[in-house]
Chain A
Amino acid sequence: MATQKTDVVIVGVGAVGGILAAELGKAGMKVIGLERGPRLTTQDFSALDELRYFQRQELRPSSKRQPVTWRPDAKTNAKPLPILNYGNQAGGGTVHYGALSWRFHEDDFRARSHTIERYGASAIPADSSLTDWPLTYADLEPFYDQAEYELGVSGRAGNLQGRKTDAGNPFEAPRRREYPLPALLPDQSGVIFAAAGQKLGYHPFSSPRAILSQPYQGRAGCTYCGFCQSFGCHMAAKSSILVTKLPEADATGNFKLLTGTMCYRVNSDNSGRVTGVSYYAADGSDNTIEADLVILATFIYDNTRLLLLSKTAKFPNGLANSSGQLGKHLMAHIGARVFVAFDDRYVNIYMGPSAQKHSLDDFNADNFDHSGMKFVRGAQLSVTPADLEAGPIGASISMNPPPGIPRWGAAYRDFLAKYFARYAAFIAQTENLPYADQTVDLDPHVRDQYGMPAPRLTYDWRRPNEVARIEFLLNKLEELGRASGATHVWRSPTGSGAPGAHHEGGTRMGSDPKLSVVNRYGQSWDIPNLFVIGSSTFPTMSGFNPTLTIQALAYSSADAIVNRYKKSPGALV
């Protein structure tokens, strides 16, 4: 057992931890980062291997060693989820992600107020905990800008300082300047999607991604190999934290990364402050770090689990949980999906960065009139390969054949043979509302490799508001499919109520200490030297992928810590 002292300990060195490590290190703070997984290098990603990275999920946690259980409701026994959709190495999920880099809309930050203003309070389901963020888009805009420029995001502005540009996304919130890099080239699926969208009067555009369309900051531009979502980038054109902020953190001389370590407790004293963390090292030893500042920056499961596991006499319901909100309001994106396939042409969707390639924003947020509809909020619509990743294993596992064609046998073989290079998926990534009874807690029966209780999710997205939205969106996707000129258009089943991608919630941020766990900087209301940063603090989720907003929040917190907290440690709000 060893004890180390430091200014700051960061638990989890991914999208958030890497940014904090670099920014705090630059300000002269001594930082130790605890990372459960390894630190890989770009050279490790030379294998463009679908089995290894997509199917066997090598860059994600093992569902056997790190189980996370799920049950649709409190009456049902929870079972381990077969696939865990987050990162498990230095750089976190940004190593394997599709690198979609969206700024949330202005009304995403005030979804409750906006909905009431436009449709009245009765439009919000009575059991939903839909709420406003404790900060506005304008508050976060400088940090979105910083993230885009420091990391390297490719895209085209749709709204420059309030002026629509006739390019990019016309629904985006005003940005101070253009993206640092031009938009990525569309592949054929993007061209098809764009033509269909334009035909119907919508506004398609090349999705903004943290993938270099040109050389930037010493890294080469993307070569459109397609091994993107699920994979580490073999040429570091993906602006993952691994190749952007971690080298920066190293260069400060103030950052020490401990890989293969599992934090199991945040330690605190009776004065109401945290004193550091305890962790298991790679050799199994039990160690302690004493720190002035503790930052939890793991995926949402562990941000919540660690606080629940760190309960004390002072905090019997979990550390920093005087509000009783810890673990509540779990959200996740659900993907409604329609396939299109062409008899008269190839699409070759395996070319170009995978994940959401081209998008349209006409049905996201409150960008369309919900009057008379049975739901509020919307979804981002995009074209992608079957399971975001574009190889034939993904297609054969994730693409249901059209009605009338079985899932195996000669007819299925012929379906795959004919359409693998001739299909595309149109998907809607839905903004599901928060509900207080969708939770993360500790599984009383299942334990992980360290003997810690597994995070248990209680969640079912199939609420009336969400089911009505999915049906509306599936019809829109089919309409787009028909407009694309596809020979065949068919739906994918919407599946069980299990959470999809991009989990949010559990350590909700807010402006009222009684109704939230942390303030707008991720600082615990109860314990000022404890920060929790990441999508676990999102009060609502937006239809957009969360990573750029997570990163902007990390920059915002870093700014507040360096420029305010460091001089006068105490509550920032």
Chain B
Amino acid sequence: MSKHDSTRRSFLKRAAVGAGAVAGSGLVPDVYTQTLEQHKDAAAPSESHATSIQHGAFFNYEQGTTIAAFTERLMPGAPGKAGARDAGVLNYIDLALAGAYADLQDFYRRGLAELDAYCRTTYKQPFAQLEPARQDEVITTLEQGKAAGFSWPTAQEFFNVVRTHTMEGMFADPIYGGNRDFAGWRLVGFPGAQGNFTATDLQNKQTFTRAPMTGLQAQAGLQAQAKNPQRTE
């Protein structure tokens, strides 16, 4: 109901912005992350967990929850500053592992299992249930290669790959399932794929705001228009 409505509202809002934003923002990611959020509040997560919609393209529920928490610590959101959750980084990684990065499925499976074992041994809790400060402590230990119990991937390998994929999910074109509503590009002030900068733009010492952000879907739309002008109104 209300979840559905807000999803639908934001969908319509984005649809009004342009063709790029529609597919770019991705409907699946909204539904997926919101249902994960829902799970946190739900009294009986195991039941709703059983329905197919909570599962993504690759991760199971536990894995998705862990990656969502982990990537949010790498790129935390704050008021006015989009983080991994806002940008849909989990959805990006989930889709990538089901497609372009299918060869990394076992890397993630094993890395997540190692992380889970490490957290349960050290803190008696899975990663996602630790306080953010504790989560940061764990990530630091991984980054420094000091977490015990990792073989393959090593703790550092796992950290580095998740960090890289977090950045991809923040900043890749929304068509890949992250960077929702250009959240990552807005965060850093990247105008996206602009086909043209003028001599004046090149000499501008201020932030660039002349043109709207453009994603791949919008580009494709513009190209279609250029090829078939009679078909546009």
A-to-B contact residues, CB < 8 Å: 46-51, 55-56, 64, 185-188, 191, 223-227, 234, 345-346, 348, 350-352, 391-393, 395-397, 407-410, 412-414, 416-417, 420-421
Q: How far is B83's CA from A234's CA once the two chains are assembled, in angstroms?
A: 32
Across the interface, do B208 and A396 meet the contact criterion of CB distance under 8 Å? no
21 contacts between A and B (CB under 8 A): A49-B193, A50-B171, A51-B172, A56-B100, A185-B202, A188-B205, A224-B197, A225-B193, A225-B195, A346-B206, A348-B201, A351-B202, A392-B167, A392-B188, A393-B171, A396-B170, A408-B73, A408-B74, A409-B73, A417-B188, A420-B190
Q: With A391-B190, A407-B143, A420-B188 as known contacts, state yes or no: A49 contacts B173, CB within 8 Å.
A: yes
B195 partner residues in chain A, CB cutoff 8 A: 48, 223, 225, 234
Across the interface, do B208 and A348 meet the contact criterion of CB distance under 8 Å? yes
Across the interface, do A407 and B163 meet the contact criterion of CB distance under 8 Å? yes
Q: With A50-B173, A346-B204 as known contacts, state yes or no: A408 contacts B75, CB within 8 Å.
A: yes
In the complex, how many angstroms separate the beta carbon of A93 from the nearest chain B beta carbon? 23
For the A-B complex, the count of residue pairs with Cβ-Cβ distances under 8 Å equals 126
Say yes or no: is B223 at the interface (Cβ < 8 Å to chain A): yes
B127 partner residues in chain A, CB cutoff 8 A: none
B176-199 vs A: 1/0 string, CB under 8 Å? 100000001101111101111111
Contact of B207 among A64, A187, A391, A421 (CB under 8 A): A421
Closest A residue, CB atoms, query B203: A188
Closest A residue, CB atoms, query B199: A185
In the complex, how many angstroms separate the beta carbon of A500 from the nearest chain B beta carbon? 20
Across the interface, do B168 and A393 meet the contact criterion of CB distance under 8 Å? yes
Q: With A223-B196, A408-B75, A408-B139 as known contacts, state yes or no: A46 contacts B223, CB within 8 Å.
A: yes
For the A-B complex with A224-B196, A348-B201 known, give 7 more contacts whose Cβ atoms are closer than 8 Å: A49-B216, A55-B168, A188-B202, A223-B196, A391-B171, A391-B190, A393-B172
Contact of B193 among A227, A408, A417 (CB under 8 A): A227
Q: With A187-B202, A417-B188 as known contacts, state yes or no: A396 contacts B196, CB within 8 Å.
A: no
A413 partner residues in chain B, CB cutoff 8 A: 75-76, 78, 81, 83, 187
Q: With A408-B74, A420-B188, A421-B188 as known contacts, state yes or no: A346 contacts B207, CB within 8 Å.
A: yes
Contact of B81 among A50, A227, A350, A417 (CB under 8 A): A417
A226 partner residues in chain B, CB cutoff 8 A: 194, 197
Q: Which of A408, A412, A417 has the most CB of B within 10 A?
A: A408
Across the interface, do A409 and B205 meet the contact criterion of CB distance under 8 Å? no
Across the interface, do A409 and B188 meet the contact criterion of CB distance under 8 Å? no
Across the interface, do A51 and B176 meet the contact criterion of CB distance under 8 Å? yes
Contact of A410 among B78, B163, B206 (CB under 8 A): B78
B171 partner residues in chain A, CB cutoff 8 A: 50, 391-393, 396
In the complex, how many angstroms separate the beta carbon of B119 from the nearest chain A beta carbon? 18
Across the interface, do B190 and A188 meet the contact criterion of CB distance under 8 Å? no
In the complex, how many angstroms separate the beta carbon of A327 from the nearest chain B beta carbon? 31
In the complex, how many angstroms separate the beta carbon of B170 from the nearest chain A beta carbon? 7
In the complex, how many angstroms separate the beta carbon of B71 from the nearest chain A beta carbon? 10
Say yes or no: is B219 at the interface (Cβ < 8 Å to chain A): yes
In the complex, how many angstroms separate the beta carbon of B41 from the nearest chain A beta carbon? 25
A64 partner residues in chain B, CB cutoff 8 A: 103
